[in-house]
Structure 1
């Protein structure tokens, strides 16, 4: 077994870190302060460049090391960081959060100091990115963790603006084709005083610069990219008589992974699971007494305010009976290789100003609940990760701020349940579906009481699942306590309900298989359109034979599938490839075009189709499709099928026996700064074929080139009470350092829809241990923070 020893400033007593053969660190400390310091140190050991990039992006310091092309991103990030008082901020999370953050960042700083000093002599612990880019990692302040807000998931600003633009340009009939609002029917009402024509198409450009990583694929807007699945099974539904909890959060697939697994043990705390590498604690996992997992509960926590500005001063806006001045903040952005850039940031009483149109006497600002105290994304998990029972867990969720989450839980005594968490704004006189004037008529009146949201404990059917769908009870008073009208499509939840309720012998392994289920319910619905369809075109006959005849031309697969394709988008499926190319690339646009013909002028038809067509890089939304399907004429079906076959022939060759969905649809994990680094060989991993789509439980949404854009890089199934039997995977590996054996060692397991044991007991950890790290108290005192080192940390 390999061993390592580090002298770490700030530790009071030694800490053990046992790294198992899958790269999961198990930390054992004698106090919480030492534990979280060690967690920060170890996170930096595995993910230092990722941590440094995360901090620079969130605080607006990318230009300092990457150059002037990032100045606009830095300015936007500074607009959207938390600017309130830290005393109020720390208090909002509950006892111990500030101390945890201080210990965690002290640990990061201890590792940064080690790298800067190249200890031990002759070694180079610094990840290679720093040398290639020619800069040193920065020191942290504890408040950096709380001030950075841009890494969270927030709703529903982009839908507000998309809806306003559609109403402005094409009318309400077109908006009903763009996205379904739930619960239906829901009538849109343009707020009194709102002039839709004044809202520019690029009104959210600055917002998107702040909230979308500049190296994300095509810098795609964040909203809709991320869903999740979770479920709990009561003892009556499992083979062992123990509860099971499954969770697979969906986020952009990345190198390294967004998630990081760790096991944290100190007196009174023994928690294991996943969090984000730059945050202390664990947000998804278990503590030996209760298991917990989350999915997005899409609370509408954002609004766009539209202001009438003074004709003589664009930084004064109409409010009430007078004119109110905007607040100006001047900051300096350091830029590599050139003089610093001074920039002015403007704020209204509602939030940061993201666009100005002085020629129209207009300005626009964003009000976001996640910019208020206690709303740093996921930091609320500090309040529940040591909960001793389900009551303590659900009580801690009352303090959860952002993002909105469906929290499910399970305990060894058999209790299972669901509680949504997050602050829901009170909008007394509008429903949040559209932007509003910023003149004082449309103000939030605080937040609804957390207990106003429903919850479930020990459901009668023995299971509960969430997949971001509308899951409020039928009698929920939506008009009085609006959560949102922009829920995700229920497709994944419908498939989960179909399968979870079908058996009473669930195991952890079967749950892993369900997490990667590739059955497309929209495919089943679309295939019914083909009943009775014939065609003279050989390409149409090819398509019908493939979709009706078992999904492949290989006899052995036809027997396996029982003679008919069942809508499973397996990576090796030829029918799956044909269906996705036909459905998304040809059928949907054609049906949408026909539906829009009577609604929009002929010279704007193609613009309308492009604008309303679902974003394929997003979690898919098939709710509009049933109405469109009813208009599908046989000639349109035949024409679009032929076009789809033609596209596949061009992409994969003329022989359908050589087609497969995975030949088109692949995960290609690429370092966020591969180009800036000079394209080293470790900056992009070999592509892996993928099954599924944005419609399937095993969600693999994709971009126009079929490259997977999001999904579950991390999956966990917890065997509640028999904790060592739990299963997990984290792609592509636990480490972000390309020199590590754990940089990409889990990619194959993930691509094969597999998992490995999430060992918990000390006995199992010792058995699986491959590296033993000892952290000893150093004699040199504490590592510096950003302020002591003379570095800019929190601009402004």
Structure 2
């Protein structure tokens, strides 16, 4: 029986409804776009209010007001990266004149739900009661001014590379992070990499860190507030000075579109599975937005209006990250006698300062001074130098994903391409398919023009290394209706042959090509492509690094190998290279490659252990190329010793009998509620769930090498039958709702872990048949 709820909603002009299907997917119906986006905001708050409230307070620097002095430094960092430019230019930059009205309607809906919780506290998620906090009201400006949740790059990589250069080993940095096309690393003129201090990246990491809770952080005094300024390798804010910085650049995505001539349906098929950090609740939220002139379904970020991945009944679209370089760290020489000045050109100019006050729970409001150079916020300073970050976040129109509002009505390739002219952040490969049978891949985003430097290392801030505007969408790669009948992207280096990147410096730091190679082979070799084939491909766990290492292993003579190395070689000999969760060879390979063989290869290449420590985690491709080129006499001891170590490692973890080994016994997903570490928390974790794959497989499942817990991957997947929309499928793990009391909090997790999907219903008849709960919305009478 369908549950029904009736609510009077402030600001609504006509009757509307939310039909929640059995998978927790809400289908919103309104009589106008203004009402529709208001209902979208209301519904986002209905399912994700705790998440939305933390998003806003983290982004605006308001956490300490609720949670105390342990959050003061994170608030200060977040405020450095707020958009502080002209708001008229900001609202005009998203490709549609209605951006401000849409965002205003959306936040009005969020605020209307907050009003509802005040009248009836049972609507309030239980996390608020556990902390004794209340949700804050949203302003439209909050949605666009908060930039620090965006994906941008490559400041962290610049810092890591500078530290390798300071150790005199710049050429070895390629083992930390491969670069392409081939390019000679060189120090910018005037840069002394030894000047880059420890902790230079702390404020950036703090500003972009998620909100986490620990008893000691919540209990921190005002005097202890400065201690909470480090971010560890798990992305948690900590007070330990030895905390390691998270590695940049593992988040990515897959997508592809196949033309009707190569599908089983005779219609295009579009598939998308963005790879982001595993969170609870999920970063993505599936919704269906319907009014008389719009019928849009797919996924987006809960705190934003519209949807960035999905379809509108005529055209389908999805995105992956195009890893262009949108950041540069500037090293500014301070005046020797006046620390308020820094060198620029032939003279000095003053730091610009902004004075703000941060409210703090159980303490007086704390004044802070935020400093800025002409290149951006000051993120660190020593007695002699200041370090400023220039990022596209300072430019109008770079609130991430909000540019999707410009293409939600598109019905042609030309219309889609025109809409992407205003897309700024993040830089993406947009894949498109429509009911006329056309397909495309179009790269979009705001990429700086660097005339005299490559962006791979910090640069002096004295005016010699400047941005000169931005490349346009027309300057970036594209493929429209290609003769092969498909398009795809997987964060690989996809600049076309002959591309003048060595002059344009769009970016050099791509993710390894393994996923892209597997996808392109499937699409080229296994025509026709069907819906089921697309879902299987999204969950494919074939590891190309495994197959390449296996080929090297099997080419070796092993008559003189030890019994342990021989057993290991035999276990891997007939393996198909798939990292299945039930596979013993998959376990042995991942332990061998990640924990023993890669470090052994690096030790043979870089003698100094101090330098080697600066090169982790290691990129796969350079080490694979080196492995494949090694002479037998050098290779033999490396293989045998590391194989023995790997076998013993597996035995120590799972017992001596490989019959009981499996990759999934170690490799797992565990969705952790931010509050669950606290006594009496209403939040509950989801998992552990055994998983296959790795970050080298199409089913991206990158993991922490210590705990083997996955930390990045596709928690949202979508496969669209373009033109026969009710035959489309999706999944969102662990569930649609962020409320621990909801049945849709974790109901999709087991399906997701098994590589299964739920219907992405589009027609009203099918939606009504699958309805579980209908929320009837009526205009609230004027008082």
Mapping 1:677-688, distance limit 5 Å = 678-680=680-682, 682-688=683-689
Deviation at 1:536, TM superposition (A): 4.8
323, 326, 337: which is aligned to 1:301? 326
Q: Equivalent residue of 1:749, what SS? A: helix
Could you say if the C-alpha distance between residues 523 and 333 of structure 1 is closer, same or farther in structure 2, counting changes exceeding 3 Å?
A: same
Name the structure 1 match of 2:425. 402
1:451 paired with 2:468, answer no
Counterpart position of 2:661: 659
Distance of 1:83 and 1:303 partners within structure 2: 19
- Other structure's SS at 1:622 match: helix
Report what 2:625 is aligned to. 626
Instruction: State how far apart, in whole Å, the 1-side matches of 2:12 and 2:26 are.
Output: 18
CA contact (8 A) 2:247 2:617 kept: no
Q: SS at the partner of 1:354?
A: strand
CA distance in 2, matches of 1:323, 1:6: 61
Could you say which residue in structure 2 is the equivalent of 1:639?
641
Give the one of 586, 602, 614 matched to 1:576: 586
Q: Distance in 2 between matches of 1:536 and 1:488?
A: 35
Partner of 1:4: 5
> 2:701 and 2:560 mapped to 1: Cα distance?
32
SS in 2 for 1:310: coil
2:363 equivalent to 1:338: yes
Which of 234, 245, 248 is the equivalent residue of 1:223?
Answer: 248
Separation in 2, partners of 1:373, 1:258:
24
Shift of 1:214: 4.5
Partner of 2:189: 192
SS in 1 for 2:503: coil
The question of whether the paired residues in 1 share the 8 Å contact of 2:81 and 2:393 is answered with no
For 2:167 and 2:340, the matched residues in 1 are separated by 29
Instruction: Confirm or deny: 8 A CA contact 1:370 1:403 kept in the other structure.
Output: no
- 1:253 matched to 2:267? The reply is no
Q: CA offsets per residue over residues 267-289 of structure 1, 9 Å max, x none?
A: 21110000000110000000001
Q: Does 1:540 align with 2:551?
A: no
Contact 2:69 2:360 in 1 (8 A): yes
Q: Conserved in 2, the CA contact under 8 Å of 1:154 and 1:223?
A: no
**1:156 and 1:301 in contact (8 A); partners too:** yes
Aligned partner of 1:371 in structure 2 is 394
> How many Å apart are 1:369 and its aligned residue?
0.8
Could you tell me which residue of structure 1 aligns to residue 339 of structure 2?
314
Q: Where does 1:518-597 land on structure 2 (aligned, <5 Å)?
A: 518-531=541-554, 532-534=557-559, 536-548=561-573, 564-597=574-607
For 1:258 and 1:509, how far apart are their aligned partners in 2? 25
Q: Contact 1:716/1:729 (CA < 8 Å) preserved in 2? A: yes
CA offsets, 1:617-661, max 9 Å, x none? xxx643432114433521221111111111111111111111100
Question: Contact 1:589/1:613 (CA < 8 Å) preserved in 2?
Answer: no
Tell me what 1:158 maps to.
156
Aligned length: 747
After TM superposition, the structure 1 = structure 2 runs for residues 749-764 of structure 1, keeping only pairs within 5 Å, are 749-764=751-766
Alignment of 1:56-71 (within 5 A): 56-71=57-72
Note the alpha carbon deviations across 1:445-493, whole angstroms, 9 max, x for none: 1112321113111111111110011111102111332210111111110
Alignment of 1:607 with 2:596, yes or no, is no
1:715-734 superposed matches below 5 A: 715-734=717-736
What is the alpha-carbon distance in structure 2 between the residues aligned to residue 724 and residue 214 of structure 1?
A: 37
Aligned residue for 2:339, secondary structure, equals strand
Equivalent residue of 1:446, what SS?
strand
Please report how far the alpha carbon of residue 23 of structure 1 lies from its aligned counterpart in structure 2 after TM superposition: 0.6
Distance in 2 (CA, whole Å) between partners of 1:696 and 1:739 is 35
- Residue in structure 1 matched with residue 241 of structure 2 by the alignment: none
Q: CA deviation at 1:143?
A: 0.6
Classify the secondary structure of the residue corresponding to 2:621.
coil
Q: 1:675 aligns with which of 677, 680, 683?
A: 677
Question: What secondary structure, in the 3-state scheme, does the structure 1 residue paired with 2:501 have?
Answer: coil
C-alpha separation in 2, matches of 1:673 and 1:459? 49
Match status 1:439 vs 2:456: no
Q: What is the alpha-carbon distance in structure 2 between the residues aligned to residue 317 and residue 450 of structure 1?
A: 35
Matched-pair contact (CA < 8 Å) for 1:61–1:333: yes
Cα deviation for residue 533 of structure 1 reads 2.7
Contact 1:129 1:677 in 2 (8 A): no
Secondary structure in 1 matching 2:659: helix
CA contact (8 A) 1:273 1:284 kept: yes
Is the 1:374–1:401 Cα contact (8 Å) retained in structure 2?
A: yes
The answer as to whether partners of 2:148 and 2:207 remain within 8 angstroms in 1 is: yes
Aligned-pair Cα RMSD in Å: 1.4
Deviations 1:577-636 (A, max 9, x none): 000000000000011011102xxxxxxx22222221326xxxx64343211443352122
Residue by residue over 1:58-116, the C-alpha shift from the partner in whole angstroms, topping out at 9 and shown as x without a partner, is: 11111111111111111100001111121110011121111010000000000011112
Q: Structure 1: how far apart are the matches of 2:684 and 2:82?
A: 30
For 1:167-178, list aligned pairs within 5 A.
Answer: 167-178=165-176
Structure 1 stretch 331-340 or stretch 714-723: which is displaced more? 331-340
CA shift, 1:155, in A, is 1.1
Distance 2:374 2:171 in 1: 35
Give SS of 1:314's match.
Answer: coil
TM-score (norm 2): 0.94
Aligned to 1:280: 305
Instruction: Report deviation, 1:774.
Output: 0.8
Distance in 2 between residues matched to 1:324 and 1:408, nearest whole Å: 45
Deviations 1:766-789 (A, max 9, x none): 1111111111111247xxxxxxxx
Secondary structure at the counterpart of residue 717 of structure 1: strand
Secondary structure of 1:145's counterpart equals helix
Match of 1:14 in 2: 15
**1:222/1:757 Cα in 2 relative to 1: closer, same or farther (>3 Å)?**
farther
Match of 2:693 in 1: 692
SS of 2:355 mapped into structure 1: strand
Q: Does 1:127 align with 2:129?
A: no
Q: Secondary structure at the match of 2:450?
A: coil
User: What is the SS of the residue equivalent to 1:406?
Assistant: strand
